[in-house]
Structure 1
Amino acid sequence: MKDIKWVFVFYSLAAVASMCGIGVAVAMRSPLVGIAAILALVFIMGSGFKTKKRMRDQGLL
């Protein structure tokens, strides 16, 4: 349990929530909500990969 990187757990849960938001947008037939959810997903995934690279470069992974 001590090796869990909680920041990555947060990023993954936020990405899953964004994916769920895409599903909700489809169900609502709302393109605006869909675009917002897709943009949020891209931002969250990008931030997660950027954080992983930064931590790997610092030797924390």
Structure 2
Amino acid sequence: MKNAKFVMAVFALAAVLAMCSIGIAVAYNSLLGIIGGILLVCAIMGFGFKTKRQFREKGLL
């Protein structure tokens, strides 16, 4: 597997774990945890798409 695809898999796994954290925060009735989880998902997805664009521009994907 190419190095770029491994990096994208790590981003995908991190996003899934962040989404799971939202569910855990809902179970604990933690509004701060829910908001933090949503912000974390947005940040991880943003960095992932930014990285994917950079890999595509360099021809690594």
Same fold flag (TM > 0.5): yes
Q: Distance in 2 between matches of 1:47 and 1:53?
A: 10
Structure in which a larger fraction of residues adopt helix: 2
What CA RMSD, in Å, does the superposition of the two structures yield over aligned residues? 1.1
1:26 aligned onto 2:26: yes
Normalised by the length of structure 2, the TM-score is 0.91
Gaps of 5+ in 2: none
Identity of aligned residues (%): 50
Number of equivalences: 60
Match of 1:36 in 2: 36
Relative CO higher for 1 or 2, CA cutoff 8 Å, sep ≥ 6?
2
Q: Which runs of 5+ in 1 are unaligned?
A: none
The alignment's TM-score, normalised by the length of structure 1, stands at 0.91
